[in-house]
Structure formats: structure tokens, C-alpha cells
């Protein structure tokens, strides 16, 4: 069976973008640009291993790759060619048959582009997506250039692993190639060009980043989820609500810390991605969740949302009880939710109401909470 690896080159500084941080670490719709690229390149189930080539290992990239399987970090060089070679050599212990090499700054590569390149590699040693030049071309002196033989080359570029690795090993130190296809060409490898995609552009200049932000917004949809939870009251010394301890003469009964508000919020977020409810993932019959902090459940839901490319937009929770009085703790609750969810406080609403002494909440037999989460998700 054909083994396929991919190398995502992310060791550049992005100087032309004019940013103080590398462009691959810029945020785009709540996620780093490189996260969008990794997700796009893993949209098929054809890739066996992913190598991310970076200038240096840091917590940011380590946190990102922890959410994926079969992915490793490799330290690159001071040129694109050296970084590509570092990625190729890192695969030598278990060499793939095919390798794709992709720019981290191309977050909009389509699944069809990746599949097309892999398919073309069945009969070719090197494949690159290309777009014809449609604009009139002239030199600075006004001399017309025939555009019929010119193409705009994109990535990912695909290769027979042994052939491209050998080509890089044979590359003269005096040559600085623009891309991996040039290295293959210099080594005498025939190149097959597949159809490129206009949306698979490289984020290089500030205008490219603005275009990327517009594209992300067009490819997203808004989802809402609702959550509702109830816990019985018993004699105690405090209750936990929205992650905040409130001293009082009773406690909430539950398998975990019984934070009814965080449970409702967890269900609301799970609802946005149609992933069941809190009981599916943390059943009360499982002893490992005995007295667990409900913050863990909320963080799990947020992690699952992020895996699917979702971005939290707004949270609203209503706590229903006679006692304790919520108003004195409302700001602390908003602050705590902002910390847990990494969401600006202006996007978090905490409210309280009573049932006018009616029902189980009116009789102070329990506390209820209902929550709504609003998220943005990719199509």
C-alpha cells in the first residue's frame, strides 16, 4: 500500500507582510493561519504522516500539533530549500513512497487539489498545481511578454520521495531555488502540472491577509446550541456556579461538583457541533468523574469545538433559583467564564431569575440553569 507523507513548511518570517510575528501565527477567525492550513491539508484520509517545519520549537506550535495524530515538528534552515530538505530527511527512518510539500501560508488548499496531485503521482514523479497567466504582461520598459507559456505555480507540490530527496542532496549550495519543483527540474525530473485553484493563494502581503479574512467569513456559518441542567439542593456550606464558589447554607448534589451552570454551558457548546450531551462523555456511573471540577467538562466541549474549526462567538446563561442571590457574584462569574473560554467578557452574559416561589426552584429544592452558545463553524 502506498505510504504518503506531507511536509508543511512554516519556517519563514513573513517580512513582506509587515507583521511583528511570523505570518503563520497570525489569527484568522479565531485560529492561527497555520491551523487552517493543517486542517485543510488533512481534509483527506490519504495522509499517513505530517511534518511541520518551523524555525524554532515553541509552545504555540506544540499546542497545535497535540490536537492531531501522526504529526511531528522539525526545525528548518535559513532558506526554503534547507527547510524542505530538513523535512525530507526527517522521514528517512520510515520513508514514504510519496511526499507532498506545502506552504504554511496557503490555508485555502482544497481537498480536490490534494487528491488530484496524489492521483497524478501514480504515473508521474513530480506534480505541481498551476494556473495560467490571464493578464497582459510587459517588462518595465514596456516590452510585451508572451504569456502563453507562463504559469503561476502553487503548492502542495507532490513527488516520489526518493527522487526529490536525492535531488535536494545533489543541489549545489550556490543555487537558491524558489520552490521544490525547481529542485526537481534541476535534477532532470519531468514535471506534470495539474489544475490549480485561484483560491489557493499564498498570504504574502497585507492585502492577501485581508482577502483571507473575507474568504474565511464567506466559508463559515453560525450555529447555536442550548443546554439545560438541574441539581438538587442539600445541607452544605457552598455551591459552585459558573466556576465560582458561593458560601451559603446548602450545596448542590451531583456526581461531580454539580456546577449546574457549567453543565448547561457544556451541553450548549456540544449542541453547536451535534456531539450529544455531557452525560454521553462524562457518565455519572463512571467513578473517575466523582467530585470532578465541571470546568473539565466545559474545556472538553471547547476542545471538540476547536477541532472542528469552530470559534466561540457568544455565551448566555440564566441561573434559576431563589437562593443564593446571583447578582453579587455575576461579575466574578463572567470573569471566570472569560478565563475558561478565552472569550472577551463583552461576549458573555450571566443572568438570574426566580420562579416566584413556584415549583422545585421556588421551594429551594434545587437550582436550574439554561444556556445558549453561539459559534462560527466552517462549511
Summarize pLDDT for 10-36 with one digit per residue, the tens. 987 666 666 667 788 888 877 889 999
| 51-74: pLDDT as tens digits | 999 988 777 888 888 878 899 999
Give the domain CATH number at 229. 3.30.1330.50
Question: Last residue of a domain, which of 218, 238, 263?
Answer: 218
Domain termination residue (choose one: 218, 233, 268): 218
Pairing of strands 191-195, 126-132: parallel
357 shares its domain with 315: yes
pLDDT at 329 > cutoff 70: yes
The whole-number pLDDT of residue 60 equals 80
| Residue ranges with strand state E in 272-333 | 311-320
Domain count, the chain: 2
**Residues 117 and 186 grouped into a single domain:** yes
Average pLDDT, the chain: 92
pLDDT of 353 > 90? The answer is: yes
Helix 330-341 with 295-307: angle, nearest 10 deg = 40
pLDDT digits (tens, 9 = 90+) for 279-325: 899 888 888 888 789 999 999 999 999 888 788 999 999 999 999 99
Q: Are residues 162 and 247 in the same domain?
A: no
Q: Which of 155, 186, 218 is the last residue of a domain?
A: 218
User: CB burial class (10 A; 0-12, 13-18, 19+) of residue 46?
Assistant: middle
Output 336 or 174, whichever has higher pLDDT.
Answer: 336
pLDDT at 116: 97
Residue 253 confidence (pLDDT): 85
Q: Which domain holds residue 74?
A: 4-218
User: pLDDT digit string (tens) for 139-182?
Assistant: 898 889 888 889 999 999 999 999 999 999 999 888 889 999 99
pLDDT above 70 (res 262): yes
DSSP state of 253: -
* Same domain? 310 vs 172: no
What CATH code is carried by the domain that includes residue 17? 3.90.550.10
| Same-domain status, 9 and 69 | yes
Write down the pTM of the prediction. Answer: 0.68
User: What does the pLDDT read at residue 14?
Assistant: 65
201 in the same domain as 304: no
Mean per-residue pLDDT, 218-236: 91
Reported as type and span, the H/E element at residue 220 is strand 220-235
pLDDT of residue 62: 84
Which distant-in-sequence residues (6+ apart) come within 8 Å of 58 by Cβ?
Answer: none
CB environment 236-252: b (16+ within 10 A), e (fewer): eeebbbbbbebeeebbb
Same domain, 115 and 206: yes
Q: What does the pLDDT read at residue 84?
A: 97
The pLDDT > 70 percentage for the chain reads: 98
Cβ-contact 89, 46 below 8 angstroms: no
The reply to whether 155 and 284 lie within a common domain is no
Helix 295-307 with 260-272: angle, nearest 10 deg: 10
Mean pLDDT of 322-329: 93
Lowest mean pLDDT among 26-40, 55-69, 72-86, 231-245: 55-69
Question: What's the confidence (pLDDT) of residue 41?
Answer: 94
236 and 197 in a common domain: no
pLDDT reported for residue 18: 65
Closest to 56 measured CA to CA, from 104, 17, 10? 10
| Proportion of the chain above pLDDT 90, given as a percent | 70
Nearest to 309 by CA among 7, 102, 22, 29: 29
Asked whether the predicted pLDDT for residue 234 surpasses 70, the reply is yes
Looking at residue 260, the DSSP 8-state letter turns out to be H
Same domain, 184 and 258: no
Do 159 and 261 belong to one domain? Answer: no
Is residue 187 domain-shared with residue 232, that is, in the same domain? no
Amino acid at each position: 500500500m502506498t505510504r504518503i507523507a506531507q511536509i508543511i513548511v512554516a519556517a519563514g518570517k513573513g517580512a513582506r507582510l509587515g507583521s511583528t510575528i511570523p505570518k503563520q501565527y497570525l489569527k484568522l477567525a479565531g485560529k492561527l493561519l497555520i491551523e487552517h492550513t493543517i486542517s485543510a491539508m488533512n481534509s483527506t484520509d490519504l495522509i499517513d504522516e505530517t511534518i511541520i517545519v518551523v524555525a524554532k520549537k515553541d509552545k504555540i506550535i506544540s499546542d497545535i500539533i497535540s490536537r492531531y495524530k501522526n504529526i511531528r515538528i522539525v526545525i528548518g534552515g535559513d532558506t526554503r530549500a534547507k527547510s524542505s530538505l530538513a523535512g525530507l530527511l526527517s522521514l528517512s527512518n520510515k520513508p514514504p513512497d510519496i511526499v507532498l510539500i506545502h506552504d504554511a501560508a496557503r490555508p485555502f488548499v482544497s481537498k480536490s487539489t490534494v487528491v488530484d496531485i496524489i492521483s497524478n503521482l501514480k504515473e508521474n514523479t513530480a506534480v505541481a498545481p498551476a494556473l495560467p497567466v490571464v493578464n497582459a504582461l510587459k517588462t518595465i520598459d514596456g516590452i510585451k511578454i508572451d504569456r502563453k507559456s507562463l504559469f503561476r505555480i502553487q503548492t502542495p507540490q507532490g513527488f516520489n520521495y526518493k527522487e526529490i530527496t536525492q535531488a535536494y542532496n545533489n543541489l549545489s549550495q550556490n543555487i537558491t531555488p524558489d520552490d521544490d519543483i525547481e529542485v526537481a527540474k534541476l535534477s532532470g525530473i519531468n514535471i506534470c502540472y495539474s489544475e490549480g485553484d485561484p483560491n489557493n493563494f499564498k498570504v504574502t502581503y497585507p492585502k492577501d491577509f485581508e482577502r483571507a479574512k473575507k474568504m474565511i467569513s464567506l466559508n463559515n456559518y453560525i450555529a447555536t446550541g442550548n443546554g439545560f441542567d438541574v441539581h438538587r439542593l442539600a445541607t452544605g456550606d457552598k455551591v459552585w456556579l459558573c466556576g465560582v464558589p458561593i458560601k451559603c447554607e446548602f450545596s448542590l448534589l451531583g456526581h461531580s461538583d454539580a456546577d449546574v451552570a457549567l453543565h448547561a454551558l457544556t451541553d450548549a457548546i456540544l449542541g453547536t457541533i451535534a456531539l450529544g450531551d455531557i452525560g454521553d462523555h462524562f457518565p455519572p456511573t463512571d467513578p473517575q468523574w466523582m467530585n470532578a471540577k465541571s470546568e473539565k467538562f466545559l474545556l472538553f466541549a471547547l476542545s471538540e469545538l476547536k477541532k472542528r474549526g469552530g470559534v466561540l462567538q457568544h455565551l448566555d446563561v440564566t441561573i434559576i433559583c431563589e437562593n443564593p442571590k446571583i447578582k453579587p457574584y455575576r461579575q466574578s462569574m463572567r470573569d471566570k467564564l472569560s478565563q475558561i473560554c478565552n472569550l472577551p467578557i463583552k461576549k458573555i452574559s450571566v443572568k438570574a431569575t426566580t420562579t416566584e416561589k413556584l415549583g422545585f426552584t421556588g421551594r429551594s429544592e434545587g437550582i436550574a440553569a439554561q444556556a445558549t452558545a453561539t459559534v462560527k463553524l466552517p462549511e
